[in-house]
Chains A and B, each alone.
Chain A
Amino acid sequence: MGQKKLMKGNEAIAEGALRAGCRHYFGYPITPQTEISHYMAKKMPGLKGTFIQAESEIAAINMVYGAAGAGARAMTSSSSPGISLKQEGISYMAGAELPGVIVNIVRSGPGLGGIQPAQSDYFQAVKGGGHGDYKLVVLAPSTVQELYELTIEAFNIADRYRILTMILGDGIIGQMMEPVELKDDEEVQVIEKPWATTGSGMTREHNTITSIYIQPEVLEKHNLKLQAKYKAIEENEVRVESYNCENADIILTAYGSVARIVKNVIKMAAKEGIKVGLIRPITLFPFPKAEFEKYAEVPKAFLSVEMSAGQMVEDVRLCVNGKRNVYFYGRMGGMVPTQIEILNNIKEILAKEGK
């Protein structure tokens, strides 16, 4: 049937990956996500899988490239500075159309920064920290249960579209412990990969995995194919949660840990007669544009709350498209916004907007 287990966020990710059939994990230690490596190091040998602590995050993403090219479900995990190192490999995997899962448990930056949580890698994840016109599917879980479920889903999405899928977490959610319901029969799609380098067996033409196309006409065609893929994903893979948005005075937008804080703010605000709604994107790419367009003229204003200098807010503004003001409230450096701060900000905004 299943079991309910108290798990740390990072461990829930690892368990989800294993249940999704991932048998090849390549990682490198970096706080605050190293528990993923520890879990995989313990579990993989028993499953006859691969655990490698690679020499660097660069080597790790390239090992994922090789394993994914050979048709396997492969994964790596890191935190912000390590994800920066992986950008070349990410771009290569996008160009070569290789599926895979990459986990970023975001910490504060820039540079070596701190080990406390942040959400300042949104641009890097969604707008592409690597070079070229490409996208990752970016999933932003908000609970440890979601970390587990979305990791399984990430492998399915990756294989369906031949695309790298990122779990964008943060230091809070990676480290916190919550009960997780683990089902024995998780929905794991098995997708054929006739393109993989499995050894030709002399029975077929040889397969090639590459991202280089020297002739511009050919490379443009390849890029158009990639763009079509991303369009299909935008049409079919949006995940979003809207809460309390009908007749809201103000709609907040937040993802991950911050969305949980906002949900508490909604309760606090209600006690003071302020109706606060929340649009919580669960996919950051594809961004839930339709949901924003639906509510664009409902509240007096929008407020994006993030642990950053303001990154997702730009996409919110694009979606609201001038119909309402879109405000921003954030903390940086590992500081976490409190409910009181957010509520005070809401009141300031509503005063400005003439409630």
Chain B
Amino acid sequence: MATVFKKPHALKDLSMHYCPGCTHGVIHRLVAEVIDELGIEGSTIGVSPVGCTYNNYEYFNCDMQQAAHGRAPAVATGIKRVFPENTVFTYQGDGDLAAIGTAEIVHAAARGEKITTIFVNNAIYGMTGGQMAPTTLLGQVTTTTPFGRSIEANGFPINVSEMLSTLEGAVFVERVSVHDIKNIMNAKRAIKKAFQVQMKGLGFSIVEILSTCPTNWGLHPVDSMKWLEQNMLPKYPLGNFKGKDLEV
């Protein structure tokens, strides 16, 4: 018998602090597996955000920089301009990327910075206690929308992938999910392609990954996966928005 599945080398042998059932753990592993498969751990530099994964510089085995809230694409730009041959990625949540960091992600994409962004969208702010995110759904109850998000009080959620795909510098834009096995495998394929797009020097790549937040959704991890499927997929359709046919 041979080992067919074990923790990837690019992920440290540490217990991560995320909540039970939080799919950040799955996504970290997928990114690490891709780094292993592409053989780029020694040349990768990642940028940690502010949010639940603020300290994922402790979990990835490559060089990492921790960035101010929302600024990861700017920090990544600085790193990539110094080391254009290295692989540089940012890992950001929906507050980091779509609220405070909107200017930075739009302009890094518009400039066609050859970096890869892993954008984890769980429609809520986790670390700070379940507040509304730019991607919170209409009607969704959060600690700052206790009566449910309403158009009048809080406006509409943002479809980040669709928005960024209008920028010519963004050459690979795909939205995936991790709510079941089939989708997890597909998410890994997209993440791998996004990194390969960078390695080929083609331009800015981003994978938006629909993810769960059992603690702040107030649901059991198993029910959270179902909630994601039933509620998030209609608003955030999965698929490739740009770069499906890019040769990597």
Contact = CB atoms under 8 A, between A and B. Distances in A.
Is A–B contact present in the complex under a CB 8 A cutoff? Answer: yes
A208 B63 contact: yes
Interface string B29-63: 00000000000011111011000001101101111
A311 interface: no
A135 interface: no
A51 to B, nearest CB: 10
A203 B63 CA distance: 12
Interface residues of A, number: 41
Interface string B63-99: 1111110010011111111110010000000000000
B61 A66 contact: no
Interface in A207-257: 207-212, 214
B77, B80, B82 — most chain A CB neighbours (10 Å): B82
Contact of B76 (A55, A66, A212): A66
Contacts of B104: 55, 59, 62
Contacts of A2: none
Interface in B96-136: 103-104, 106-107, 111
Contacts, number: 134
A175 interface: no
A214 B66 CA distance: 13
A56, A58, A202, A209 — most chain B CB neighbours (10 Å): A209
Interface residues of B, number: 37
Which 10 residue pairs spanning A and B have beta carbons closest together? A66-B78, A197-B63, A62-B74, A67-B78, A66-B75, A210-B66, A62-B71, A55-B107, A202-B42, A63-B78
B77 A201 contact: no
A288 interface: no
Interface stretch (A68-76, A157-165, A289-297): A68-76
Interface of B: 41-45, 47-48, 54-55, 57-58, 60-68, 71, 74-83, 86, 103-104, 106-107, 111
A65 B54 contact: no
A197 B62 CA distance: 9
A198 B78 contact: no
A274 B187 CA distance: 80
Interface of A: 24, 26, 50, 52, 54-56, 58-60, 62-72, 74, 88-89, 92, 96, 197-203, 206-212, 214
A197 B78 contact: no
A211 B66 contact: yes
A197 B45 contact: yes
Nearest to B9: A202
A200 B62 contact: yes
B57 A208 contact: yes
A210 B61 CA distance: 15
A51 B72 CA distance: 19
Contact of A66 (B79, B107, B111): B79
A199 B75 contact: no
Contacts of A212: 54-55, 66
Contact of A62 (B55, B63, B68): B68
A190 B5 CA distance: 46
Nearest to A49: B81
Given A70-B79, A200-B42, A92 B74 contact: no
Contacts of B75: 62-63, 65-66, 69
B83 A55 contact: no
A89 B69 CA distance: 10
Contact of A70 (B44, B45, B48, B68): B45
Nearest to B86: A199
21 contacts: A24-B78, A52-B81, A55-B107, A56-B103, A59-B104, A64-B78, A65-B68, A66-B79, A68-B78, A69-B79, A88-B68, A199-B45, A200-B42, A201-B43, A202-B41, A206-B60, A207-B64, A208-B65, A209-B65, A210-B65, A214-B55
Given A67-B81, A70-B82, A197 B65 contact: yes
Contacts of B78: 24, 26, 62-70, 74
Nearest to B74: A62
Contacts of B60: 206
Nearest to B43: A199
Contacts of A67: 78-79, 81-82
A198 B78 CA distance: 12
Contact of B83 (A64, A74, A199, A206): A199
A56 B77 CA distance: 14
Contact of B64 (A64, A72, A202, A208): A208
A201 B42 CA distance: 4
A321 B136 CA distance: 58
Given A59-B74, A67-B78, A72-B82, 14 more contacts: A24-B78, A52-B77, A65-B75, A67-B81, A69-B79, A74-B78, A88-B68, A92-B67, A198-B83, A199-B83, A201-B42, A202-B42, A206-B62, A211-B66
A63 B108 CA distance: 11
Contacts of A63: 74-75, 77-78, 81
A289 to B, nearest CB: 33
A212 B127 CA distance: 15
Contacts of B45: 70, 197-199
Contacts of B106: 55
Nearest to A69: B65
Nearest to A26: B78
Contacts of A60: 74
